[in-house]
Amino acid sequence: MRLVIARCSVDYAGKLTAHLPMAPRLILIKADGSVSIHADDRAYKPLNWMNPPCSLREEPFEENGAVARWTVTHGKSGERLILTIEEVLHDTSHELGLDPGLQKDGVEAHLQELLAEHITTLGDGWSLIRREFPTAIGPVDILCRDAGNATVAVEIKRRGEIDGVEQLTRYLELLNRDPHLAPVRGIFAAQEIRPQARVLAVDRGIHCVTLDYDALRGIEHEGTLF
């Protein structure tokens, strides 16, 4: 990962246009080719970004006092991020290695195990395909089929936040590229789902399910469905 802190302006050129005026910003360039521009707020959300596949071209640029121009071009859409850099304050690269992935806490892991074992909790006639179904960006908690034999991806959280919906959205995008699985719809399941997360999920066609952990544990102990 390359981290650059620089005074820069950013122009997005695509279906729409957007401009960020000159200011100090953090630029993240990841090994997967993605580029994102951050300010010193907004937590994790970048001001602008380009997802892979994309390419970065760095070139000298001596107009209006700028020292360099970086052009990030998306390999499929042709959309561009143009960074005009006035001053580089920091530029360093780090090899992070293979990430072991998110480790779920005990409750989330047990919820996944219980729901997979009793998948008909989601509906009569449902069947499990696999827990931890692998994708290029990480495993889907549960992949299953509904009573109509349609594929369903289930993301499980203890507390449902917006980032969980975003995660499931990325999984669905990948899974729907597989003709053996598509069409794949999503279920966002949690003990508690925040209102903002529920609104985003509904907007993206994702169904929300509130899980009762104690009731699921009751299934485990009693061997009956509720």
- Predicted local distance difference test score (pLDDT) of residue 124: 93
- Predicted local distance difference test score (pLDDT) of residue 108: 81
Strands in 30-60 per DSSP E: 35-38, 48-50, 54-60
Domains of the chain: 2-93 (2.70.180.20), 106-217 (3.40.1350.10)
Question: CB within 8 A of 3, min separation 6: which ones?
Answer: 26, 27, 28, 29, 90, 91, 92, 93, 94
The residue type found at 119 is I
- Predicted local distance difference test score (pLDDT) of residue 45: 80
Determine the 3-state secondary structure of 125 from DSSP.
Answer: coil
- Predicted local distance difference test score (pLDDT) of residue 223: 43
CA dihedral 158, 164, 170, 172 (to 10 degrees): 50
From first to last of its 226 residues, the chain has per-residue pLDDT tens of: 999 999 999 999 988 889 999 999 999 999 888 999 999 886 668 899 998 889 999 998 877 677 899 999 998 899 999 999 999 999 999 988 776 665 555 578 888 899 999 899 899 999 999 999 998 888 999 999 999 999 999 999 989 999 999 999 999 999 999 999 999 999 999 999 999 999 999 999 999 999 888 888 775 544 433 3
- Predicted local distance difference test score (pLDDT) of residue 125: 94
User: What is d(CA 123, CA 149) in angstroms, rounded to the nearest whole number?
Assistant: 12
The residue type found at 109 is A
Looking at residue 106, what DSSP letter applies? H
- Predicted local distance difference test score (pLDDT) of residue 97: 78
H or E element that contains 163: helix 162-175
